[in-house]
Amino acid sequence: MNQENKVYVIGSVNIDMSISVDTIPLEGETKAGHNFIKNIGGKGANQAVASATLGANTTLIASVGDDIFGKEAITSLANNKVNTKSIMVEHADTGMAFITRTNRDNRIILHEGANHKMALDKALEAICGQEGDVLISQYEIPFDIVLKGFIKAKQLGMITILNPAPARYLSKDIFEYVDYLILNQTECDIFTGIYPTHKDDVIKASQVLFKQGITRLIVTMGSKGSVYISKDQLIETAAYKIKTVDTTGAGDAFVGGLAYGLVHHQSIEVAIKMASAAGAYACLHEGVEHAMGTIKEIEEIMEGMKK
């Protein structure tokens, strides 16, 4: 196995327009917001930045528009150490995300834009990893690209991570090509009918998903930590105790942290602890683009938990 294994992310790029408000406006109501943030987002971009900031050799396979936002996104991703050679530029609007932050929570409205203009043949050509490399994807791009990308990745001997968010595609066709399925509580409820709040709930959810072809499941439960379960192993990981500022991007930081651990040949237990620390670090900062931690910053959080 190559000691310099790489991370490939195939997914979305959005421009995030984020604002805080004390309470969500009622129907027809206008409220004044504060702490406006504009940055590069999209689950694909976020996960790639998380992995690259930690130090993994990371390539993003994505599609942006031929507008000012597309140029801005590519420049920003490159500045965040992401390999952008496989980002396609399409005659379309760059994807957008409108984020409302309130009470340390967030609500998001997406405009797909160029994310759904991605060329299947170019996307598959860009997946050129080898044994031990990792491919990550989500559901902010067409399902057919994700499915065929995972099929190719497994043919190449790559490790695959699926974070099916938003949970818009419920097809089980992809499950046999997934090495690690990562769900939050809401996604777990959508896929299994079980909203998990503790280990026993995750065990029940895993029984549903294992029958459908999943072999390794990770469920994140915010302040309740996370649970990893395979057919022969169960690992509970406590959440890091932090003072949350903004949860936006925490899930993406978790995915990037897990990928970093896997390509550095960490045990799954250590990789999940690293992922949890990456998610916790993201919660300490507003926005996403500049909320992803370096390996030193993540290790400091992990060390703090031991004290």
SS (H, E, C) 196-249: CCCHHHHHHHHHHHHCCCCCEEEEECHHHCEEEEECCCEEEECCCCCCCCCCCC
pLDDT of residue 306: 54
Q: Return the H-helix or E-strand segment holding 49.
A: helix 43-54
Residue with the bigger pLDDT between 29 and 246: it is 29
The residue ranking higher by pLDDT, 21 or 223, is 21
Has residue 16 got a pLDDT over 80? yes
Provide CB contacts within 8 A for 118, sequence distance 6+. 62, 63, 88, 90, 141, 142, 145
Residue 222: pLDDT band (50, 70, 90) is confident
pLDDT for the residue numbered 246: 67
* Strand pairing report for 134-137 and 216-220: unpaired
List the one residue out of 31, 50, 32 whose CA is nearest residue 42. 50
- Hey, which residues are catalytic here? 252
Distance of CA 15 to the CA centre of its chain: 16
Confidence at residue 69, expressed as pLDDT on a 0 to 100 scale = 96
Burial 249-274 (b: 16+ CB within 10 A, else e): bbbbbbbbbbbbbbbbeeebeebbbb
Q: How far is CA 120 from the centre of its chain?
A: 21
Q: What is the mean pLDDT of residues 287-300?
A: 80
Q: Which pLDDT score is estimated for 280?
A: 85
Minimal CA–CA distance to 96: which of 45, 143, 22, 161? Answer: 45
Tens-place pLDDT, residues 31-54: 999 989 888 989 999 999 999 999
Higher confidence at residue 103 or residue 251?
251
Measure the CA–CA gap between 59 and 78, rounded to whole angstroms.
Answer: 10
**287: pLDDT confidence band, cut at 50, 70 and 90?**
low
pLDDT of 202 over the 70 cut:
yes
Percent of the chain with pLDDT over 70: 96
Average pLDDT, stretch 53-74? 96
Question: Rounded CA gap, 282 and 246, in Å?
Answer: 8
- pLDDT, residue 305, reads 61
CA 65/CA 56 separation, integer angstroms:
27
Q: What is residue 297's predicted lDDT score, i.e. its pLDDT? A: 85
pLDDT tens, residue by residue, 223-262:
888 999 999 999 998 878 877 776 777 889 999 999 999 9
Domains of the chain: 7-24+33-306 (3.40.1190.20)
What is the per-residue pLDDT across 125-180, written as a single tens digit (0 to 9) for each?
999 999 999 999 999 999 999 999 999 999 999 999 999 999 988 889 999 999 99
Q: What is the mean pLDDT of the chain?
A: 91
pLDDT of residue 307: 44
